[in-house]
Amino acid sequence: MATIRKRGAYQWQVQVRKKGFPTQSNTFESRAEAEAWAREIEGEMDRGIFVSRAEAERTSLGEALERYLREVTPAKKSAKQEERRIRRWMTHPLALRSLASIRGADIATFRDERLAQGRSPITVNNDLIVISHLFTVAVKEWGMESLRNPVSAIRKPKLPRGRDRRLEEDEETRLLEAAESPYREAIALAIETGMRAGELRSLEWRNINLRVRTAILDDTKNGERRVVPLSSRAVEVLRELPRRADGFVFPTMTADGLSQGFRRVCRRAGVEGLRFHDLRHEATSRFFELGLNPMEVAAITGHKTLIMLQRYTHLRAENLAAKLG
């Protein structure tokens, strides 16, 4: 049976006592909310599906984020970026609320606020991914089985169409002519191998076999080891590079340095609207145009699903028309 009493001017405390179950209590801002909560708890007890909400009700989102940051984030490849995202979440008013009190409507309000502030749909979606996974971990690993994931109850921001920028006409020649070493070699290898910028920067000579024409990538985005076949041109590019004492193919190249250096190369070459990551799209599309099948291309690029592989593939209609005869 539920007992409801007023505490102070604006709070109502409710307790539910039933034989065979631990006493459940909570506090609300209105009597109606307290009564609704009590009915829900009593109904679950009557149906034999009750799971205690105690821990979820006494754990704030901010506390859960702190635990997630300690236990989950360090194991991720994007740990630094995720930590910054979590730190921003901790400053939001929702961080003061208990996990059990957060509903889909709260998350929808957060989504709309961020979009209204000018944040891109991709940024907002990444914010939601963190919270969604936090609730999943809380349910599966932290003993809060009563929780419902509020992110699953809302519409996600509509993401923009994926980029389909490919190299046009003589852009590749202009880029290579405008680039100095090591940017020239990095650009050429990205086009020949489809490697990501981070994979190129972590590439080591000990993992390259020019005789059998392979490069082993130990440090990939999805954390899985990958063996990349090297074209004749890729082998030529690697032969021209000096070998440094630290063993890295591009020892002095940082993430920011590569991005900034590539932008300078594009300006000198008169190439507009191109990002370094677009070279991965170019390489993936070329693999298909060479006649490789999806399994072969995925083995080179490391894409885990056909959907992701399709996002990176932009075949030219004129090339397809030539095949049709």
Residue range(s) defining the domain that contains residue 243: 171-324
Measured CA distances, 6 to 29, 35, 42 (Å): 10, 12, 20
Instruction: Clarify whether residues 199 and 241 are in a common domain.
Output: yes
Instruction: Clarify whether residues 209 and 314 are in a common domain.
Output: yes
Instruction: Clarify whether residues 38 and 73 are in a common domain.
Output: no
Instruction: Clarify whether residues 182 and 318 are in a common domain.
Output: yes
Token couple for 176: 């290579």
Rounded (5°) CA angle 245-251-255: 165
Residues (pLDDT < 50) of the chain are none
d(CA 89, CA 132): 13
Total domains in the fold of the chain: 3
Instruction: Clarify whether residues 202 and 289 are in a common domain.
Output: yes
In one-letter notation, the amino acid at residue 291 is G
Instruction: Clarify whether residues 112 and 251 are in a common domain.
Output: no
Residue 318 lies in a domain: yes
Rounded (5°) CA angle 215-221-224: 60
List helix spans (H) across the chain: 31-47, 54-58, 61-71, 79-90, 104-116, 121-140, 171-178, 183-193, 197-201, 232-240, 255-269, 278-289, 294-301, 306-311, 317-324
pLDDT (0 to 100) of residue 221: 77
Q: Which residues are catalytic?
A: 196, 221, 277, 280, 303, 312
Domain termination site, one of 103, 125, 153: 153
pLDDT (0 to 100) of residue 213: 96
pLDDT (0 to 100) of residue 320: 63
pLDDT (0 to 100) of residue 321: 63
Instruction: Clarify whether residues 177 and 111 are in a common domain.
Output: no
Residue 184 lies in a domain: yes
Render pLDDT for 136-154 as a digit per residue (tens, 0 to 9): 999 999 988 888 899 999 9
d(CA 236, CA 251): 19
Instruction: Clarify whether residues 293 and 317 are in a common domain.
Output: yes
Instruction: Clarify whether residues 285 and 186 are in a common domain.
Output: yes
Place of tokens 């880029």: 175
d(CA 167, CA 32): 63
pLDDT (0 to 100) of residue 114: 95
Whether omega for the bond prior to residue 182 falls within 30 degrees of 0, making it cis, is yes
Looking up residue 84, the CATH number of its domain turns out to be: 1.10.150.130
Residue 314 lies in a domain: yes
Instruction: Clarify whether residues 206 and 81 are in a common domain.
Output: no
Looking up residue 198, the CATH number of its domain turns out to be: 1.10.443.10
The answer to whether the beta carbons of residues 129 and 82 sit under 8 Å apart is no
Instruction: Clarify whether residues 288 and 192 are in a common domain.
Output: yes
d(CA 25, CA 5): 11
Residue 166 lies in a domain: no
Residue 161 lies in a domain: no
Model's pTM, two decimal places?
Answer: 0.67
Instruction: Clarify whether residues 316 and 175 are in a common domain.
Output: yes
